[in-house]
Amino acid sequence: MSRPHPAHGSLMSLVAAVALLTAGCSATADGTEAAGCRETDGWSLREQARWLRSTVSFPGATAGEGADESAADKDAAVVIRSRGTNDGGPLCEPIRVQVEFWELTATTTGTDMTSVLRYRLVTDGSEDRAIGFPPGLSAAERDACTGVLMAAYPGARLTEAELPEDIGHLTSPTTADVEFGTDRIGAYRLFPPSDPRQCDADRRPTTTPAATSAPWPRDHR
């Protein structure tokens, strides 16, 4: 019986090792690696936004404002959920994400929009990340003239050209009333002022003064 030449055996071992290494690093058709993470090499901001779109949720505060009952954190404004193997798994390399909040103020001429908080983070989808409302913008704190717009997007801060040009008079809790000038918005949610008809030119709710008691004593006749 012949024995394999030592050099031949070493060569076969090297080939086997290379094959295993190649199999361990190869990506599947959907971009998920055999190691359990998704490769992001060469992803554009638009592709990163697409990944964010199915990862971000907006729990809200009340069912009347479109609360997301599937969200893990009911008190959060924005939640970036972790990704399991059944939905693509986490990313092999984290991406940079901005979560921005704008205060919307209804006036008699339209709606003013002011950025009040921008939260920067990196995420690979391996754990849940929850961001709360800025002070004064939770459902319990907003008055009839105040709303909030929230957005999560990859990359740097939005430029002026990427912001909505004109949000006009907001009257319904839908996202159809806001159009960003970019395709790198992963997800956004709008909670408009609850009753803009009550708001005057000074951005304050107009209320009817409470009734006062009669200026004379009870025994007046």
Q: Parse the chain into domains and list their residue ranges.
A: 45-198
Calpha distance 32→85 (Å, rounded):
9
Higher-pLDDT residue of 199, 100: 100
Mean pLDDT of the 99-123 span: 91
* Banded model confidence at residue 127, pLDDT cuts 50, 70, 90: very high
Q: Select from 221, 148, 220 the least CA-distant residue to 191.
A: 148
Read off the pLDDT of residues 191-202 as tens digits, 9 standing for 90 and up: 888 888 778 655
Calpha distance 138→195 (Å, rounded):
16
pLDDT at 195: 83
Judged against a pLDDT cut of 80, whether residue 169 lies above it is answered with no
pLDDT at 122: 94
The model's pTM: 0.70
**CB-CB contact of 59 with 68 (8 Å):** yes
| pLDDT over 90 percentage in the chain | 40
Read off the pLDDT of residues 35-53 as tens digits, 9 standing for 90 and up: 678 888 889 999 999 999 9
What's the token pair of residue 218? 């009870």
Calpha distance 22→31 (Å, rounded):
15
What's the token pair of residue 203? 């951005």
Higher-pLDDT residue of 116, 194: 116
CB atoms within 10 A of CB 194: 19
Read off the pLDDT of residues 56-82 as tens digits, 9 standing for 90 and up: 999 864 444 444 444 456 678 999 999
pLDDT, the chain, mean: 74
Judged against a pLDDT cut of 90, whether residue 95 lies above it is answered with yes
